[in-house]
A and B are shown apart, each in its own frame.
Chain A
Amino acid sequence: MNDRVEKKVLKWNRQSLAAWLLDERFLQIFAQVVFAGIVVLVGYTLYQNMANALAKQGMVLGFNFLRLNSGFDIGFTLIHQTYASSNLTALEVGLLNTILVSIISIILSTVLGVLVGIMRVSNNWLVNRLAWFYIEIFRNIPLLLVIVFSYTLYVFNLPDVKNAAVLPGPSFLSNRGLNTPSLVPTATNTPYLITLLVCLFATIFLVRLVVKRFRLDNFIGGLIGLGMMIILGAIAWLVMPSAPYSVEVPVKLGLNYTGGNVLPPELMGIVIGLVLGSSPFTADTVRAGLQSVSNGQIEAAHALGLSGYQTMRLVIFPQAMRVIVPPMTSNYLSLTKNSSLASAIAFPEIVHIASSITSQTGRAVEIMTIVMGMYACLSLITSLFMNWYNNKVKIVER
């Protein structure tokens, strides 16, 4: 009797265990626990290996090295930096240079890309084919090759300082870079800037009022505002007791120029390379956007009596932007990431400086973490901005 009960209980237990094991809810949790276990185990093993390897070299993970002297001068800096500055300052210089290169290249490649994209939808066969040719060529060549090629051409095939080409400004183009005049702030600089700021607010206020009162186009309002600002700025410049800025012209001194701004060949090389290498993608995006607007829309606009400019501005453009902006975001993101290729031509952007610091301190793990974190932040900021812009241009549905 007792025996039978025990057997029954056992049998029941076994069945329920099986049922329980095959229950989807259990499986779901079980699979995840196993997965998490594997990830943690692999991660722990890797970390342990790394700690062992570092211990063998007598190093401990830590970020104290950031405060030590970097020990090298950086050729192109936006903030003050010398060999006595800290590693952190060097990284800051690199980050600023990366941002500078990215912004310049994004603006120029957008201008060129939009131009080629519009050429690509032109009715003129020759213009159309030429744009197609440009896109096909630069899309299929590695960006790094374009950058290295443009840099090498710049350094080897431009005249030296002695025979530098004189551009308006006066600026000088030579294989040592592009030397342009610079503006040096004088004593009246601060009051001038404050005046400008006041003028700016006044202009924005006035233009808003005018646009609302006369129901003007926002674009035309912007043009009026810009014109007003230029006139006000010029008046303020003349009214000031002495000029708020003095112009410093580069002067040839021996084998180089002194004074003024200099855009070094590395900067020119990376910007030219990035612009040539990225604009085909922009052009293709623009073409796709323009072609996505159906012909009926354009015909309808003409039927309503809109002019060519009005059709472009009020009908085609708003609809095309909806298609253009999302892929443009990823174009800009990849351009920002591609600016890291400048390290191949020794332009001191973040990756180049990071590898210099790595070779000086041996802190590969920490520095790579910092650099990757910086790029992740840049990507995040770019996509936040583009999402905000996309929300502005996307068609509002009911």
Chain B
Amino acid sequence: MTASNQILPPPTERYTILNWLRKNLFQNWLSSIVTLVMLYVIFVSLRGILVWTLTEGQWQVIIANLRLLMVGQYPLQQIWRIWIAVGIFGALIGLSWGLWIRQKLAATLITLGGPFLLALLPVDTATRLTWVGVGFITAAGFGLARVFPRFLRRIVLVAWLVYLPVVLLLVRGWTAENGPIPTVGTNIWGGLMLSGLIAAVGIILSFPIGAALAIGRMSRYPLISAFCVVYIELIRAVPLITVFFMSQTMLPLFLPSGFNIDPLMRAMTAFTLFNAAYMAENVRGGLQAIPKGQHEAAAALGLSSFQSLRLIILPQALRNILPILTASVIGSFRDTSLVMIVGLLDFLGIARVVLAQPQFLGRHIEVYIFLAFVYWLISYIVSYIGQMIEARTGVDATRR
């Protein structure tokens, strides 16, 4: 092929600054007026926010209560267990980043530098040093993954799978009061850790249940599909908060007498069952987008219906719904804040405890802004990771 018959891409537009301003801000007189008004509004509000943040805001309330906000009333002597969980998380993130997403230099630097950034927070020296340690572990994971990519791939996948059960066990503990790892009752778990755990359990467990419900809904057995339809539609018709209330008051009634289930377990069960209905609809969307020819081709190749589901249909369906999955993961994380209403001390719940402290009365703006920022940051990170995975699995490349 010669250069002359190659189709050139359209030229990209280039502007000088003045041209850009005219095109984007001062197209006509109406646009110019709007721009000027907007600039004034932005100037005034930015000035107000900056002045408030730097002079009026008393951020001492956050600094003094940082531990409470993060882990609730988890006993101080046992906090090393949470640090171990954070360390393993850092290592896994580093390893996964090194294995699968290494091209983006800026994002890699931010990921590896994240723990070091957290070490700059104005907290006590021990915490800062631990963050530095977590940073080194993350970096080590990244390095290891670069050196032994082939060897580590399967191990890291398995490690991700067992990570949550291990963390739950570690945080809960299993020995008696005076043992090395004493049990910490779920009633004193709290803060961001609790939100994260509820979200993680809810999302991960709801996925298989949701997939089963979706497949059941599309099944050709009328009884099974009717059951799935009723379950999904019933759950989707009611607010999450009623499901939480129901779990708190009714779940103990449903269980055989003598079988106790603590409030956190109740909330997690409710959250999982609720999420499963929404997850089922997401998965169904993905399944229905697969053309019929794929089923028929799989059948023609002699695959059983289970094989065709596992090898042909589900992989394509999951890849199709990745963007929706990311959105629903973020949504689920935000929804965990509702456990506050049934009395659990999650991130938002513990904030109310902080605001009730007599020395920090009336500091609600600082606390809520901090909360909003953390929620926003985590949502942003999750959606960024979702975009990375989408890019890796090539959703765009196959989109017709």
- Interface residues, chain A, with chain B CB atoms under 8 Å away: 28, 31-32, 35-36, 39, 46, 49-50, 52-54, 56, 123-127, 130, 137, 139-145, 148-149, 152-153, 156-157, 337-338, 340-341, 343-344, 351, 354-355, 358, 364-365, 368, 371-372, 375-376, 379-380
Q: How far is the CB of A78 from chain B (nearest CB, A)?
A: 21
**Closest A-B pairs by Cβ, 7 of them:** A125-B24, A364-B249, A140-B379, A337-B239, A340-B239, A142-B337, A142-B334
B341 contacts which chain A residues (CB < 8 A)?
A: 144, 341, 343-344
The answer to the question of B338 belonging to the interface, with a C-beta cut-off of 8 Å to chain A, is yes
The total of interchain contacts (Cβ-Cβ below 8 angstroms) comes to: 146
Per the bound structure, the CA–CA distance linking A157 and B56 in Å amounts to 14
Other-chain contact of A341, B42, B234, B241, B371 (Cβ < 8 Å)? B241
Given A123-B27, A351-B242, A375-B237, the answer on whether A148 and B348 have CB atoms closer than 8 Å is yes
Considering only CB atoms and an 8 Å cut-off, how many residues of chain B contact the other chain?
A: 52
Interface-lining segment among B6-14, B31-39, B120-128: B31-39
B337 contacts which chain A residues (CB < 8 A)?
A: 142, 144-145
B42 contacts which chain A residues (CB < 8 A)?
A: 126, 130
The answer to the question of B223 belonging to the interface, with a C-beta cut-off of 8 Å to chain A, is yes
Q: How far is the CB of A336 from chain B (nearest CB, A)?
A: 8
Per the bound structure, the CA–CA distance linking A364 and B252 in Å amounts to 11
Question: In B349-377, which residues have CB < 8 Å from any A CB?
Answer: 362, 364-365, 368, 371-372, 375-376
Task: Output the residue of B25, B39, B341 with the most chain A CB within 10 A.
Answer: B341
The answer to the question of B151 belonging to the interface, with a C-beta cut-off of 8 Å to chain A, is no
Interface-lining segment among B65-73, B76-84, B91-99, B253-261: B253-261
Per the bound structure, the CA–CA distance linking A46 and B254 in Å amounts to 5
A375-B368 in contact (CB<8A): no
A380 contacts which chain B residues (CB < 8 A)?
A: 237
B256-A49 in contact (CB<8A): yes
B239-A124 in contact (CB<8A): no
Given A28-B221, A35-B227, A153-B365, the answer on whether A140 and B250 have CB atoms closer than 8 Å is no
A364-B255 in contact (CB<8A): no
B237 contacts which chain A residues (CB < 8 A)?
A: 372, 375-376, 379-380
A36 contacts which chain B residues (CB < 8 A)?
A: 223
Q: How far is the CB of A279 from chain B (nearest CB, A)?
A: 16
Per the bound structure, the CA–CA distance linking A39 and B241 in Å amounts to 26
A sample of 7 cross-chain residue pairs with beta-carbon separation below 8 angstroms, ordered by A number, consists of A49-B254, A53-B257, A126-B35, A141-B372, A341-B239, A351-B239, A368-B242
The answer to the question of B75 belonging to the interface, with a C-beta cut-off of 8 Å to chain A, is no
A358-B249 in contact (CB<8A): yes
A124-B368 in contact (CB<8A): no
A375 contacts which chain B residues (CB < 8 A)?
A: 237-239, 242
A124-B34 in contact (CB<8A): yes
The answer to the question of B160 belonging to the interface, with a C-beta cut-off of 8 Å to chain A, is no
A56-B39 in contact (CB<8A): no
Residue of A nearest to B36 (CB): A126
Given A124-B24, A358-B249, A376-B234, the answer on whether A145 and B241 have CB atoms closer than 8 Å is no
B253-A50 in contact (CB<8A): yes
The answer to the question of B185 belonging to the interface, with a C-beta cut-off of 8 Å to chain A, is no
Other-chain contact of A141, B31, B239, B376 (Cβ < 8 Å)? B376
Given A123-B24, A126-B25, A338-B239, the answer on whether A145 and B253 have CB atoms closer than 8 Å is no
A53-B245 in contact (CB<8A): no
A142-B348 in contact (CB<8A): yes
A368 contacts which chain B residues (CB < 8 A)?
A: 242, 245-246, 249-250
Other-chain contact of A156, B234, B362, B371, B383 (Cβ < 8 Å)? B362
Question: In B224-245, which residues have CB < 8 Å from any A CB?
Answer: 224, 227, 234, 236-242, 245
A141 contacts which chain B residues (CB < 8 A)?
A: 334, 372, 375-376, 379
Other-chain contact of A372, B35, B222, B238, B335 (Cβ < 8 Å)? B238
B380 contacts which chain A residues (CB < 8 A)?
A: 140
A143-B334 in contact (CB<8A): yes
The answer to the question of B321 belonging to the interface, with a C-beta cut-off of 8 Å to chain A, is no
B34 contacts which chain A residues (CB < 8 A)?
A: 124, 126-127
Other-chain contact of B252, A35, A53, A379 (Cβ < 8 Å)? A53
B383 contacts which chain A residues (CB < 8 A)?
A: 140
The answer to the question of B212 belonging to the interface, with a C-beta cut-off of 8 Å to chain A, is no
Task: Output the residue of B250, B253, B364 with the most chain A CB within 10 A.
Answer: B253
